[in-house]
Homo-oligomer: A and B are copies of this chain.
Amino acid sequence: MTFECVNIHFSWIIFSDETLRINMKKKDKITSIEVAQLAGVSQSTVSRSFSPESPVAVKTRERILGIANKIGYQPNAMARSLITQKSNIVGIVISNVTTNPFYPEVLDLLSRKFQQNGQKVMLFSVHRDQNLDDILPQLLEYQVDGILITAATLSSAMAFECQRWGTPLTLFNRYIPDSNASWFCCDNVAGGRLVGQMFIDSGHKSPAFLAGNEDTSTSIDREKGFMEIMVENGVKALKEVGNYNYNDAYAAAVRLVDRPDPVDAIFCANDIMAIGALDAIRSAMNMKVPEDVSIIGFDDIPMASWPSFNLTTVRQPVQSMVDDSVEDLISRINTPEKPPNHKVIMGELVIRGSSRISI
């Protein structure tokens, strides 16, 4: 037996097993039509009252907004998006958010900046090697106005898919040649060279590179720049892999130092690994930084300046990379015919106490 009582905002359903369930009907959403009725105007006028550019008599608009406010009306963004063909949502795909403190900062800045520009953020947090082919369709399904991908690798098939949808795509610290995606990267090759030169100039004889994940462009490029300098100076450099995390870097650092011909300088592809290496050399090997081994990182996360680490590192210009990325994406949202931008931004060597300066 079913008993229903609509129109007064809830309904009873009596089940045969004598259980009484009170099923609060989802509070009927208040629509622009109800506001219109209360104000004695048409729905159009209510709608226009909510877009500042639309022409509505000042008095009318005030009255309508007053009523709307009183009964708690708010436009339905879904319906609006449907008709305007603009969702005002951007998708952000981010990885490494737990493993590298650099990325929470990036995420925070990105999300704030989009917010300031009136864009909502739909977030996907992924593993570094997670396949984005499942993620992008979800974003496109929600008609996002644009997509920003941080530190995760995208198949060029998916980049093409975005292009087909006409959804602009911006990459942060990644690039896809021959796609029509924009990208904004720290100049990783130059950063690597900076560090290499620093080691050479300060008289280090057996430097090493500690790689992140070997399939990431960031690690590859930092290594490339570093090794270029080594070759140019006829210096042989060792290499180990630390997978961009503390523990692996800790172990790798031990391997680099615990050998007949220990290294005297390690360039780590990010700060977290540099800190791991530093801890390993001090705690596990009982050696001194920078006296026995110089250590230089990459990113300049806040931790790098803490007294216990005092890490020399290559600072990524986060703020300007974020500004550039967001501005690019938003401008390409507003002007779809705009071509993608590619910008490589110089990092800055921040010299602290973890590296020797003189010979």
Contacts and interface: CB of A to CB of B under 8 A. Distances in A.
Interface residues of A, number: 64
Interface stretch (A70-78, A221-229, A259-267, A321-329): A70-78
Contacts of A72: 161, 164-165
Contact of A336 (B24, B74, B77): B24
Given A87-B78, A279-B306, A112 B125 contact: yes
Nearest to A338: B24
A275 B78 CA distance: 46
Contacts of A76: 82, 141, 143
B78 A246 contact: no
A73 B115 CA distance: 30
Interface in A103-122: 103-105, 107-108, 111-112, 115, 120-122
Contact of A307 (B78, B123, B279): B279
Interface in A179-193: none
Nearest to A250: B307
Q: Chain copies in the assembly?
A: 2
Most buried by B among A101, A124, A137, A142: A142
A308 interface: yes
A131 interface: no
A111 B123 CA distance: 8
A120 B122 contact: yes
Contacts of A59: none
Contacts of A26: 85, 166, 336
